[in-house]
């Protein structure tokens, strides 16, 4: 077993719920085992510059007590830096010198697929580290801290926006984070009872979206005694059009990990709906029947896009993420002590700590499209022709894994 007396704690990539619980879980488990833990600030940028720091912050009892596990974000800070891309031929030796300077024997690093790829890189260079999965996108093979918090916030914001939608008879398009997968849009949208959910895994046929919107929205208003109604679309930032093309902000170059900035999904959906509303002769009759039509002023229902952006990853963490963060942080310490470097904490269940090589965990996991049909049978539109839910009954004999 390795002799570990001091652990460095790094959080990297995007902020999200549950990360402060990870930090506290690491610090408290280490303290219980007589091991020191310190913060390496600013993610991998901080790791690279560690050798230049005058001091590091020790996660002693007093400092840890000032960290709120229920708050999102990270007391350790973040950066989007890929170590291998740093223009310095001696970067790995520089990192090792920094760790030696502060007598740090091993690292616990919490982050998503990009962060995890650097964990694999550092491990291959002889730097001892363990990974705690963190990404609100939920695109790793395991559950990642931050996912549940983001889903709950998306659901809450979307539900609350229905009041403004009802007040103005608006069609609302809510664009949410998730990068190249639709987990947060799907789960948050279902949680808010959205009428339509658009995800990257399903190229969008906007004619189908429009017909679903028109049928649902018009009927909703005409049934109302005060002629009020709304229609809610939750759209993932990485949706694809019918040609399978994602929407990028061409003015912004890719980041260090090669990711283009996804932007404009909500605006694009709004424009597609507005174009169809303007060309549909039945819309004027609807507006006249419901008493909304005002020539040259209010001739079609209003479509608005709303982008909550970083609000979905800020604020408070869900109780689930605080629980997972504490457990995963503590388990990561135990993995280090067992010499399981280059691995990711997957789950703590009873007294079992499940782990997997980080290089396998960071492989992208998209939405399982076999599940989508069950929501389509319940009336939700996914921008395609509804499909029959093909199911199989399976009697549970033991433990089963459940990904959000």
Per the DSSP assignment, residues forming a β-bridge with 262 are 248
* CA–CA dist 25, 35 (Å, integer): 13
CA distance 266 to 309: 11
- Please, which residues have CB within 8 angstroms of residue 1's CB and are 6 or more apart in sequence? 337, 338, 339
The label of the residue with tokens 């031929």 reads 89
Query: Which of 381, 121, 162, 110 has its CA nearest to residue 256?
Result: 121
**Active-site option among 3, 88, 105, 137:** 137
Token pair recorded at residue 194: 């959205």
Contact 22, 323 (CB under 8 A): no
209 alpha carbon, distance to own chain's centre? 25
Active site residue 87: no
d(CA 174, CA 191): 14
Q: Which residues pair with 110 in a beta bridge?
A: 11, 132
Nearest to 265, CA basis, from 308, 299, 215, 207: 308
Active site residues: 137
């Amino acid at each position: 077993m390795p002799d570990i007396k001091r652990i460095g704690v790094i959080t990297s990539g995007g902020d999200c719920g549950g990360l402060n619980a990870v930090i506290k879980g690491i610090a408290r488990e280490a303290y219980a085992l007589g091991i020191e833990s310190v913060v390496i600030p600013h993610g991998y940028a901080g790791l690279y510059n560690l050798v230049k720091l005058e001091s590091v912050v020790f996660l002693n009892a007093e400092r840890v007590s000032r960290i709120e596990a229920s708050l999102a974000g990270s007391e350790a800070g973040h950066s989007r830096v890929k170590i291998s891309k740093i223009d310095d031929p001696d970067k790995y030796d520089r990192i090792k010198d920094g760790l030696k300077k502060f007598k740090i024997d091993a690292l616990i690093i919490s982050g998503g697929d990009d962060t995890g790829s650097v964990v694999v890189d550092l491990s291959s260079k002889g730097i001892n580290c363990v990974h705690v999965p963190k990404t609100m996108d939920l695109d790793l093979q395991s559950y990642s801290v931050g996912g549940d918090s983001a889903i709950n916030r998306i659901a809450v914001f979307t539900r609350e926006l229905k009041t403004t939608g009802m007040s103005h008879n608006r069609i609302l398009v809510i664009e949410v984070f998730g990068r190249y997968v639709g987990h947060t849009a799907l789960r948050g949208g279902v949680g808010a009872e959205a009428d339509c959910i658009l995800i990257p895994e399903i190229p969008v046929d906007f004619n189908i979206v429009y017909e679903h919107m028109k049928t649902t929205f018009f009927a909703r208003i005409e049934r109302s005694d005060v002629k009020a109604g709304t229609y809610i679309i939750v759209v993932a930032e990485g949706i694809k059009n019918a040609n399978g093309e994602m929407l990028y902000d061409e003015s912004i170059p890719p980041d260090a990990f090669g990711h283009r900035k996804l932007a404009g999904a909500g605006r694009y959906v709004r424009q597609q709906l507005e174009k169809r509303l303007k060309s549909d002769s039945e819309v004027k009759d609807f507006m006249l029947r419901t008493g909304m039509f005002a020539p040259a002023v209010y001739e079609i229902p209003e479509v608005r896009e709303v982008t909550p952006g970083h609000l979905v990853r800020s604020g408070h963490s869900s109780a689930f993420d605080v629980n997972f963060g504490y457990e995963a942080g503590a388990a990561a310490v135990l993995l280090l002590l067992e010499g399981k470097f280059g691995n990711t904490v997957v789950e703590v269940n009873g007294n079992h700590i499940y782990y997997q090589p980080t290089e396998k965990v960071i492989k992208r996991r998209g939405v399982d499209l076999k599940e989508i049909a069950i929501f389509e049978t319940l009336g939700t539109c996914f921008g395609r022709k509804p499909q029959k839910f093909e199911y199989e009954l399976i009697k549970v004999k033991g433990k089963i894994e459940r990904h959000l």
